[in-house]
Structure 1
Amino acid sequence: MAEFFVEWGDVIWEGFLQTLTMTSISLVIAILIGLPLGILLVVTRQGGQSENRWLYQVLNWIINIIRSIPFIILLFFILPFTKLIAGTTIGVQGVIVPLVVYTAPYIARLMESALLEVDKGIVEAYQSMGISTSKIIWYVVVREARSGIILGLTIATIGLIGATAMAGLVGAGGLGDIAFQYGHLRFEPTVMYTTILVLIIMVQLIQSFGSQLAKRLKREG
């Protein structure tokens, strides 16, 4: 065991940091895009506070199309766009754009589901007091949906980690790249099993943290 970590410890640690970097940066950007999109889907849908059938249909159509494309295909499909935005299509920097494009619509749909669970009676009560739609959305609806939002983001983060592992197949770095380059191509099964174990631990920690935080927010109301 000691000999294994002497030989592979630095490689696996570097892969872990790369996976963490890809996940963190992509998640923050995807939330900044996905949360407003989720809110737009809620307020522009039929019966929403700012009903706009045309805008809702366009957003709904775009999100459904992107979500229907497997990540590995999307990764290659938007290579020119990635090159334009990031300046490269390889390494950690080159995979951020496709990860965001893949994750943001997913987060938008999860946010939409969480926001729609808020009791309409609460919203109508604040509307009757003449409070603006923007304040109702941010200070009432989003607050009431905090628990569902956290659970949704937990699911999205776990899915994002899986996507970073797939990105390793095209040299994006991270644990997926190590599992493929060393575990598969160079026939080092112990390396592959170790990277899988690290990914499992990451997912378990994120799921536990997200679940506990959601429960706490739900109790606080």
Structure 2
Amino acid sequence: MKAGKVATQPLWFYDFVSPFTYLLLEQHEKWPDFDFTFTPVVLNDLYRHWGQSPAYSVPAKRTFLYRHALFRAEQLGIPFKMPPVHPFESMKLLLLATAVQGDVQFVREIFRFIWREGRDPSSDAVFAELCERVGQPNGPELIKDEAVHQQLRRNTEDAIQLGVYGVPTFYLNKQLFWGEDALPMVLYCARTPNWLDSKEVKRISCLPSGLADIQP
């Protein structure tokens, strides 16, 4: 992926640790008709860069996050089963998807393994099982390649340059759309891109902060 500040192609940023990213991918048939490049990034590195605390680090927020994910899944009619632990280590999965430049079918199969079957992919044995499932039995060897590690780091750095701060995030027409619930906005802006150029959208997009310790 060549992203950074000059990216022009549609991108979709994801990390397998996010249940809402799974829910958005399960709605792929509703997405705008663009050829999105599926781009794995390390969510915790995004958090660290922007000085954010992960949602699951706040006990009450963690509880709500899991309940909300289940509620959305039931509301949307999407099969959903939380893995036995969360958060889990997703690095091996991200490296695997990076190594094979995973397309929608490949990435969706990994998400379903975790969020539909409720599996914890962090152990070596379960990861090996997953690699067999997605047709990459040599996955444990693939992810050792330093070039793959470097590419994942570049993906994450490029995402940060674009302003990406969480997943799932669409990058379309040089604009960011974050979250599973942003899909209606993505669809609207794909059909009506000039909405983002409207006077009120421009006004609220550059509002000054009223607090000295918050940078716009």
Query: Shorter-chain TM-score: which interval?
Result: under 0.3
Q: TM-score, normalised by structure 2?
A: 0.26
Structure number with higher helix proportion: 1
Higher relative contact order, chain-length normalized (CA < 8 Å, sep 6+)? 2
